[in-house]
Amino acid sequence: MKIGIDLGGSHIGLGVINSDNNILENYEKDFTEEEKKDILPVIENYIINMVNNIKKQYDIEEIGIAVPGVTKNGIILRTINLGINNYNISKKISENLHIPVKLRNDAKCACLAEYAHMVKEDSSLKDITMLFLTIGTGIGGGVIYNGKLLEGHMFEGYELGHIVIKENGIPCKCGKNGCFEKYGSILEYKKKVKQRLNIPENVNADPLREIMKARREEIADIDNQYISDLALGISNLINIFEPDTIVLGGGYSHFSYMFGNSLKDAIVNSNLLFNKRNDIDLRIAKLGNDAGIIGSIL
Ligand SMILES: [Zn+2]
């Protein structure tokens, strides 16, 4: 058995995973505002205590952690939402539990998990080039080529949400301006919708969708601009990677049905593609919140 962990800015998920990549047991914890002030010991203690308990029942050979940031050789180099930088979390945990620990960026973990799931359902897709984007608070992603995740040597690379789509555009948390994620993330879209419709910040996705359904006309221009920005970013990535399949995950998957075919139409019809094609295979991710947990051990 392996243990997969999905680390987020306000949440940690942990699963016991068998050799078929199925989650047998699932645990989660939301961080309190108090805990967020000094999050590192909270994360480490939670993992160590949970795994110590799970070890009584299962033989655990490896732990994987999906990290919302940049990692290298078991070290968290940079996270924006967690405030953990240049820290060797895998050393601390593996020394304590005597189990090897591996880290990888969470979007790339989700990319691996979605790819593995897709191939499990249809083995003929094994050799595809897949572009995966997790469209949530920001935009992360990964590219699968010849069955493997593409990665940089210096850093993990493939920071797909941080290609610039507008010169001198909106400042991004990464320090640059005009990044794709400042226009294409579902967070930015929801912010604009809530502002327009006078909906409080704390309204969740379900009630928000209900309100939006009834008031679509009032946000039509926001929808159009959002789809147009998404199409621009995705088309740039298509021109580079020429993927057979594009999988979109993250919070976007809860809103995608509202946009119908408009995203695909915008990609195909907006004169954005170098190689003109109509057969854009755009799919919605299947694994939801499990993608990070499963992908962390892949
Ligand atoms: Zn950026």
180 CA from centroid of ligand 1 (Å)? 7
Decide the pairing of beta strands 69-72 and 75-79: antiparallel
Q: Which pLDDT tens digit goes with each residue over 102-129?
A: 999 999 999 999 999 999 999 999 999 9
User: What pTM was estimated for this model as a whole?
Assistant: 0.93
Residues at Cβ < 5 Å from ligand 1 ion: 162, 172, 174, 176, 179
164 CA from centroid of ligand 1 (Å)? 8
48 CA from centroid of ligand 1 (Å)? 33
181 CA from centroid of ligand 1 (Å)? 7
14 CA from centroid of ligand 1 (Å)? 28
C-alpha angle 141/125/259, rounded to 5°? Answer: 50
Q: Which amino acid is at 277?
A: R
pLDDT range class, residue 10, cuts 50, 70, 90? confident
**Would the pLDDT of 81 be above 90?**
no
What interhelical angle do 39-55 and 89-97 show, nearest 10? 30
pLDDT range class, residue 229, cuts 50, 70, 90? very high
Can you list the domains of the chain with their CATH numbers? 2-108+291-295 (3.30.420.40), 121-285 (3.30.420.40)
Is 91:102 a contact under the CB 8 Å cutoff? no
pLDDT range class, residue 172, cuts 50, 70, 90? very high
Is 54:24 a contact under the CB 8 Å cutoff? no
